[in-house]
Structure 1
Amino acid sequence: MISARGDWPENAPFAVFLSHDIDQIHDRELFRILADLNHIRRILRQGEPGNLRLAGARVLRSLFKPKQTGDDVRTILEIEARYGFPSTFFILHDPYWSRHGPRYRLGSPGLRRIVQMVSEAGGELGVHGGYYRFNDPAGYRESREMVGETFGVEVQGIRNHLLRFSFPETWLAQEAAGFRYDATFGWPDRPGARDDRFFPFRPVDPATGRELDLTVLPLTVMDGTLFRHLRSSGRDALELAWAAIEPVIERGGLVSLLWHNNYFDEPEYRDWQWVYEQLLERLAALRPWCATGAAIDDWVRAQGMPTIGASADSG
């Protein structure tokens, strides 16, 4: 059973799970441009952190000379390749054009290029659970099957959009939909392992006492937590993230990072990319085992996982 330093493959002192939620991929896209304009409005009227000049330049670029779709994902893969780190990309599937839905269609040529790049890099595809399919077993299953059939892969993992989670409904619905692991369990507004869960675990249905056939990969740090919720930047953001990561390393646990693709190759958000690069450099120096979510799930199932009933504040 995974419980102490050195239990990971290759006698690694801890494990790393790198992941990216793909909410949007197109530079010239109506909702993205409207969101950027609203960002400019909040900078002017509400003092939201941001660079007015760079934000304006991004709007003009999107309108007149949009970036090539997939360039940001290529940058992510190049950064991770420096250390031989694979990663998992969660594809958002929900009603198109809805307020919290995806800004692309599964069949779009741009998304197919992204999937090809991820596949060639040894990465994994998962489902980014839809906002409107939250805790819906049938909706989750349809998303898993649609992503799998479209790209010819066996989808094993899910992470809910905006980290939406309720206990035990979320895990029961995901299990019923056929997922093998969930990567949602974390706090959107603060870094660090939720409920001090430093290792993968298998939850229990409190109503029946049944162990669910679902691996939970707890989240450690998300980019939006640092830069949106806490409004940190630069080295301050880096040290906040590292302070959340260190306890996981000390216990020999699983460090799980979530960085969204659309903040790479963006001058206004260069801190977001820089912090990710710095974190990977620090982690690589400690020689962890880094694997996709599916590989981690396969390995911990073979070793045996602790069965944990989520605590009262997990809902």
Structure 2
Amino acid sequence: MRDTTDRRPNAASTMTDAPPRSSALPTPAAETIEDMPRDRFALPDDATFALCLTHDVDRPYKGVRSFYYATRERPAYHLRTALSSANPYWQFEEIMALEDNLGVRSAFYFLNEQHLLRELPLREWLSPDNWVQHLGRYDMTAPEIVDVIRDLDDNGWEVGLHGSYHSAEDLLRLREEKTLLEDVLGGPVTGGRQHYLRLSVPETWQYHRAIGLAYDATLGSSTDCGFHTGYHPIHPFDDDFLVFPLTIMEQALPDPASDFEAARETCERLLQEAAENGAVMTVLWHPRYFNEREFPGYRRLYRWLIERASDLGAWIGPPRTLCASQEDDRPQRASRTDATDTEFHFTHERANP
């Protein structure tokens, strides 16, 4: 299904350069995730449920990170990729071709990670994790990145914001990243997800709304698949700002290379659960996982997931399009219609080094 949504006005364009005072930030509708209002969406085309497809663009280049991976597994293979001119993590064209063949579109969230040596204090240089991040950093204004962003946008894919590691708690940084992405894109950005699923509730959502985003897709787990916070998007401020909980991150599934059926069965169980509850199901496949040599089975599983969701009568597309479909026909909200029995606990998950 092609995303033909009209572009929204850029809500951030009317804001001043100064950050809003804390008193100007929206007040959460409830103290816990469970108690926040949510909608049972009026799904397009009388669909049984919605499947939102997303990709976090963390590392489109493998490069010198091959040496890091070589210390962990398959040293010969990873060292060859370090010395080769080929880039196994550049999978944009392959993903676009696959989704175009299936008649769907998805969202790509682009990351502007801070430069370790130029932008972070000296004490941060001592962290090995920060060096791993730094070595994977890319320049959003590089010609090939600009070209792929505009190509995606021109052909109906959603381009969104992948907030950097520290931006979850930094309004000014988050706004700068959104502004840069919109400059590259040549238009407004509707939503996105924070890097490493870092989330400070409610502050991160307050910042998202303050800079003009319409939704966030960060809430979720990198280690456990499921509908942990209910079946429907959340309205943390009881207004039109939406939170799309993450149902599946590919790395949380059984490894399809060693047990494809176990991975497929997990996806089947969640698809059936989504269909039975009219859910909005959001999945994340990082682009590098479409490299069959390094991550065998994930591309095949992604195709199966979309085909199976279509067989079950799902609407399939990016979150932006689903947001727009609700603007003219928003059903009445109800609190705690589908919240889980236990409070969802937030952690700063360290996934995908």
- Residue 98 (structure 2) aligned to one of 79, 82, 98: 79
Residue 239 of structure 1, CA deviation: 1.3
Secondary structure in structure 2 of the residue aligned to 1:267: coil
Cα distance between partner residues in 1 of 2:88 and 2:150:
15
Change (3 A) 1:120 1:33: same
The partner residue of 1:183 within 217, 228, 233 is 217
Matched AA of 1:134:
A
In the TM superposition, residue 307 of structure 1 has moved relative to its aligned partner by 6.0
Whichever residue aligns with residue 186 of structure 1, its letter is: G
Cα gap change, 1:225 to 1:2, in 2 (>3 Å): same
Q: 1:214 aligns with which of 226, 237, 241?
A: 241
* Greater mean deviation of Cα atoms: 168-177 or 231-240: 231-240
What is the aligned partner in structure 2 of residue 3 from structure 1? 40
Deviation of residue 176 (structure 1)? 1.9
Structure 2 CA distance for aligned equivalents of residues 24 and 166 of structure 1: 24
- Relative contact order (alpha carbons < 8 A, sep ≥ 6): 1 or 2 greater? 2
Q: In structure 1, what is the Cα distance between the partners aligned to 2:161 and 2:176?
A: 10
The DSSP-based 3-state class of the residue aligned with 1:303 is coil
Q: Deviations over 1:228-268 (max 9, x none)?
A: 8x997422112122223321121111121100001212313
Contact 1:263 1:273 in 2 (8 A): yes
Q: In structure 1, how many angstroms separate the alpha carbons of the residues matched to 2:39 and 2:168?
A: 30
Q: Which stretches in structure 2 are left out of the alignment for 5+ residues?
A: 1-37, 117-129, 347-353
Q: Deviations over 1:143-178 (max 9, x none)?
A: 111100122121110201111123222212221222
Q: Which residue of the partner structure matches residue 18 of structure 2?
A: none
Specify the code of the residue in structure 2 equivalent to 1:3.
R
Tell me, yes or no, if the aligned pair for 1:127 and 1:158 is still in contact at 8 Å. yes
Q: Distance in 1 between matches of 2:334 and 2:146?
A: 38
User: Sequence identity, in percent?
Assistant: 26
Unaligned runs of 5+ in 1: 41-51, 205-210
Instruction: Evaluate the alpha carbon distance shift between residue 85 and residue 212 of structure 1 in structure 2; reply closer, same or farther with a 3 A threshold.
Output: same
Q: 2:109 is matched with which residue?
A: 90
- Match status 1:13 vs 2:71: no
| 1:189-200 equivalent positions in 2, closer than 5 A | 189-195=223-229, 197-200=230-233
Q: CA deviation at 1:213?
A: 4.6
| CA-to-aligned-CA distance 1:13-39 (integer Å, 9 cap, x gap) | 111210100001124x22x22332233
Kindly indicate whether residue 173 of structure 2 is the aligned counterpart of residue 139 of structure 1.
yes
Give yes or no for contact 2:158–2:320 (8 Å, CA) kept in 1. yes
Are 1:114 and 2:148 matched, yes or no? yes
Normalised by the size of structure 2, how large is the TM-score? 0.74
Q: 2:235 aligns with which of 202, 205, 211?
A: 202
Kept in 1, the 8 Å contact 2:254–2:262? The answer is no
Contact conserved, 2:67 with 2:82, CA < 8 A, in 1? no
1:113 alignment partner, SS class: helix
Aligned residue in 2 for 1:38: 71
Contact (CA 8 Å) 2:275, 2:312: kept in 1 or not?
A: no
CA–CA distance in 1 between the matches of 2:167 and 2:334?
27
The CA RMSD over aligned residues, in Å, is 2.6
Pairing 1:132-281 to 2, within 5 Å after superposition: 132-195=166-229, 197-204=230-237, 211=238, 213-226=240-253, 233-281=259-307
> In structure 1, the residue corresponding to 2:192 is in which secondary structure?
strand
- Whole-Å separation in 1 of the counterparts to 2:202 and 2:244: 16
Letter in 2 for 1:200: P
Shift in CA distance, 314/69, structure 1 to aligned 2, threshold 3 Å? closer
**Number of residue pairs matched?**
289
Distance (Å, rounded) in 1 between the aligned partners of 2:257 and 2:146: 34
- How much does 1:314 deviate? 4.3
Matched to 2:243, the amino acid is V
**Equivalent position SS for 1:17:** strand
Paired amino acid for 1:61: T
Higher helix content, 1 or 2: 1
- Asked if structure 1 preserves the Cα contact closer than 8 Å seen for 2:168 and 2:200, the reply is no
CA shift, 1:113, in A, is: 3.1
How far did residue 92 of structure 1 move? 0.8
**Secondary structure of the equivalent of 2:328?**
helix
Partner of 2:82: 62
Distance 1:68 1:39, change over 3 A: closer
Establish whether residue 288 from structure 1 lines up as the match of residue 333 from structure 2.
Answer: no
Maintained 8 Å contact 2:52/2:106: yes
1:61 shift after superposition: 2.7
Asked if 2 retains the 8 angstrom alpha-carbon contact of 1:69 and 1:110, the reply is no
| 1:29-77 per-position Cα deviation (integer Å, ceiling 9, x unaligned) | 22x223322332xxxxxxxxxxx3xx6324303312323774x111111
Cα offset, 1:87, TM superposition: 0.5
The corresponding residue for 1:48 is none
